[in-house]
Amino acid sequence: MKIKNICCIGAGYVGGPTMAVIAQKCPSVDVTVVDINEKRIAAWNDPDVENIPIYEPGLSDIVKEARDRNLFFSTDVNAAIDKADMIFISVNTPTKTYGIGKGMAADLKWIELCARQIAEVAKNDKIIVEKSTLPVRTAAALKDILDNTGNGVKFQILSNPEFLAEGTAVEDLKKPDRVLIGGDIDTPEGKEAMEALVNIYASWVPKENILTTNVWSSELSKLTANAFLAQRVSSINAMSELCEKTGADVNEVAKAVGMDSRVGPKFLKASVGFGGSCFQKDILNLVYIAKTFGLNEVADYWEQVIIMNDHQKRRFAANIVKTLYNTVSGKKIAILGWAFKKDTNDTRESAAIYVTDYLLNEQAEVVVYDPKVNSEQVYADLEYLCTHSNEEIRERVKVVTSAEEACKDAHAIAVLTEWDEFKELDWKEVYENMLKPAFLFDGRRLLNRKTKEDIGFEFYAIGS
């Protein structure tokens, strides 16, 4: 089966970049990305490609090349569903904030809405691809909804989780470690659908890197991959605290451990805590699934990864307060970096939000600078926590447009995102413009201790 028209529901961090790369690599396939968010679609269609809603290195060039050739962004969801042979569902699946499973389970209401809309609109057979990260066995629920419309249309459901990381999305999509496709391997129709999706990816991914499995393995592999990655960060962060107590240095420990080829060097960078929209939500989802099967030990095991991460954010903030003579009330603290990692404008679950909230509880005056995050986003992130009134947040948190401005007259600086430009700052000048003693807290192990101490900073870094 040759796919001619692809529709992707959800023009977010996954749908946008993924479809842009598919369109670039498969010029004979028309790819339409749809979303109910009109503002987002308008931004994807902005004549100036630098204004597309997601910042990812290399993405605007691809959009420039493929947009209006075979890559389209639209709010007309029904038309795109109708036309498509293959529909990717790439909508958000956040942690539930209400009802059963509140605070743990994935909220699948947007997934279900998509399924119902597809069922209503579809007039010919279609392949449905789960691109969103979903609890294992979601495909069964989707199938149930799709197969019960009574209009005789046949659907094949595939699971094709996405492994891209933000900030390196284009690179990850162009050269993925693997592409995972789960489907109904027991029927000819299932196999044909899988083959159709394999062929799309085979336009640029070597066949040996395209893995096909049964649908449940594919769904569960995605949650497992994120849990393993987050676990590595929590493991090294746990060691960072022990390093601080013992005189060991977490970077040296990570290097020594990571050089064992069985462990490997990646994802062992101690930090103020992992953020991002997925690690926490996917682990909580995994914990919830384990609990629903009565696997309490399995659930407890994975929950520790989150407990450790929360502890890391809290102890970083607490250390600032303790070091500044047990009070930051009325003191100016500069926060360098708001995004959850460098090279992205995404702030979801960023450690900076929680550190700032902690400092606000202690009545600090906070000044934030991030090269890619605007003030409205910073305020929205803090307001979302509902721990301080909107007025208080706007009064006590200022967002400025340069690191130098943020640090001027500050009592302390906290580096919370590893943006390259923070390494290049004129730290001597920064020091001169601060109140003394000038405290510098490095939550990313970004800065050189010796040079900062030579300038005169009181320097604190995670894990040393």
Ligand X SMILES: NC(=O)C1=CN([C@@H]2O[C@H](COP(=O)(O)OP(=O)(O)OC[C@H]3O[C@@H](n4cnc5c(N)ncnc54)[C@H](O)[C@@H]3O)[C@@H](O)[C@H]2O)C=CC1
Ligand Y SMILES: O=C(O)[C@H]1O[C@H](OP(=O)(O)OP(=O)(O)OC[C@H]2O[C@@H](n3ccc(=O)[nH]c3=O)[C@H](O)[C@@H]2O)[C@H](O)[C@@H](O)[C@@H]1O
Kindly list the residues in this chain that would bind ligand X in the complex (CB under 6 A).
9-15, 34-37, 40, 77, 90-93, 110, 113-114, 132-133, 162, 164, 166, 277-278
Say if residue 135 is preceded by a cis peptide, omega within 30 of 0: no
Residues 164-193 within binding reach of ligand Y (CB under 6 A):
164-166
Q: Give the separation between CA 212 and CA 191, rounded to whole angstroms.
A: 10
List 36, 37, 125, 163, residue binding ligand Y (CB under 6 A): 163
H-helix segments, 324-437: 351-361, 375-385, 390-396, 403-407, 420-423, 427-432
Least Å distance, CB 340 to ligand Y, is 4
Given a contact cutoff of 8 angstroms between Cβ atoms, the answer to whether 273 and 309 are in contact is yes
Q: Does 348 bind ligand Y (CB under 6 A)?
A: no
Cα separation of 130 and 139, whole Å? 8
3-state helix, strand, coil in the chain (%, to 5): 45, 15, 40
Residue 133, interface with ligand Y (CB under 6 A)? yes
**388 part of the interface to ligand Y, by CB under 6 A:** no
Interaction with ligand Y in 52-81: which residues (CB under 6 A)? none
Q: Which residues are designated catalytic? A: 162, 222, 278
Q: Which of 25, 40, 126, 341 binds ligand Y (CB under 6 A)?
A: 341
Please tell me whether residue 219 binds ligand Y under the rule CB under 6 A.
no
Residue 40 interacting entry, from ligand Y, ligand X, none, C-beta within 5 to 8 Å by type? ligand X
CA distances in angstroms from 264 to 257, 259, 268, 274, 275, listed in the order given: 8, 6, 9, 19, 22
11 binds, among ligand X, ligand Y, none (CB under 5 to 8 A by kind): ligand X
Q: How far is the CB of 339 from ligand Y (least distance, A)?
A: 9
User: What DSSP string runs through 194-253?
Assistant: HHHHHHHHTTTS-GGGEEEEEHHHHHHHHHHHHHHHHHHHHHHHHHHHHHHHHT--HHHH
269 binds, among ligand X, ligand Y, none (CB under 5 to 8 A by kind): ligand Y
C-beta of 156 vs 234, nearer to ligand Y: 234
Q: Min. distance of Cβ 59 from ligand X in angstroms?
A: 13
Rounded Cα gap, residues 241 and 132, in angstroms: 35
What are the residues binding ligand Y (CB under 6 A)? Answer: 133, 162-166, 226, 229, 233, 267-269, 271, 274-276, 278-279, 340-341
